[in-house]
Amino acid sequence: MVCVGNAFDVTTPQDLDERFRAAVGALTPGTAGLPEGMTSELARAVFDAQLTSRHLDLAARWLRSFGEGFYTIGSSGHESNAVVAAALRHTDPAFLHYRSGAFYAARVGQAGLADPVAETARDVLRGVVASTSEPIAGGRHKVFGNAAHHVVPTTSTIASHLPRAVGAAFAIERLRKVNGNGGGSEAPWPADAVVVCSFGDASVNHATATAALNTAGWIDHTGMRLPLLLVCEDNGIGISVKSPAGWVASTLRARPGLRYFAAEGDDPAAAYATAASAVEHVRRSRKPAVLHLSTVRFMGHAGADAEVAYRPAADLERDLTRDPVVATARLLVSCGLATPEELLARYDEVGWQVRKVAEEVLGEPKLTTPAEVVATLAPRRPVRVARTVADLSVSSLTEREAAFGGRLPEDAGPFTLAQTINAALADGLLANPKMAVFGEDVALKGGVYGVTKGLRERFGATRVFDTLLDETSILGLGLGSGLAGMLPVPEIQYLAYLHNAEDQLRGEAATMQFFSGGAYRNPMVVRVAGLAYQEGFGGHFHNDNSVAVLRDIPGLVVAVPARADDAAPLLRTCLASAAVDGSVCVFLEPIALYHTRDLYEEGDNEWLAPYLGPASWSEAHVPIGRARVYNVGSAEDLTIITFGNGVRMSLRVAARLVEEGIGARVVDLRWLAPLPVADVIRESSATGRVLVVDETRRSGGVGEGVLAALVDAGYVGSVSRIASVDSFVPLGPAAREVLVAEDAITQGARALLAR
Residues that are catalytic: 471, 542
d(CA 535, CA 645): 13
φ, ψ of residue 165 in degrees (nearest 5)? -65, -40
In three-state secondary structure terms, 292 is strand
Cα separations (Å) of 715 from 69, 672, 674?
45, 20, 19
Angle at 534 between CA 529 and CA 537, to 5 degrees: 100
| Cis check: omega of the bond before 414, within 30 degrees of 0 | yes
d(CA 13, CA 65): 12
Cα separations (Å) of 648 from 503, 588, 601, 641, 750?
32, 16, 12, 12, 18
- DSSP-derived secondary structure letter, 415: B
d(CA 6, CA 15): 15
Return all residues near 706 (Cβ < 8 A) that are at least 6 apart: 641, 669, 675, 680, 692, 694
Whether the Cβ atoms of residue 466 and residue 427 lie closer than 8 Å to each other: no
d(CA 21, CA 555): 49
Cα separations (Å) of 449 from 453, 570, 589, 595, 733?
9, 20, 11, 9, 22
- Helix H or strand E segment including 117: helix 116-128
- DSSP-derived secondary structure letter, 612: P
d(CA 739, CA 727): 9
d(CA 169, CA 195): 6
In three-state secondary structure terms, 362 is coil
d(CA 39, CA 337): 11
Residues in the chain: 755
φ, ψ of residue 176 in degrees (nearest 5)? -60, -35
Strand 487-492 to 628-632 pairing: unpaired
Q: How are strands ordered across the β-sheet holding 638-642?
A: 628-632, 664-668, 638-642, 689-697, 718-724
Q: How many CA atoms lie within 13 A of 61 on its CB side?
A: 23
Tally of helices (H runs) and strands (E runs) in the chain = 26, 20
Q: Is 741 exposed, middle or buried (0-12, 13-18, 19+ CB in 10 A)?
A: middle
Q: Which amino acid is at 185?
A: S
d(CA 9, CA 24): 23
Cα separations (Å) of 94 from 165, 516, 619, 663?
8, 14, 43, 60
d(CA 439, CA 319): 46
> Among 314, 362, 268, which residue's Cα sits nearest to residue 60?
362
Q: Which amino acid is at 569?
A: P
| Cis check: omega of the bond before 733, within 30 degrees of 0 | no
Angle at 78 between CA 74 and CA 83, to 5 degrees: 130
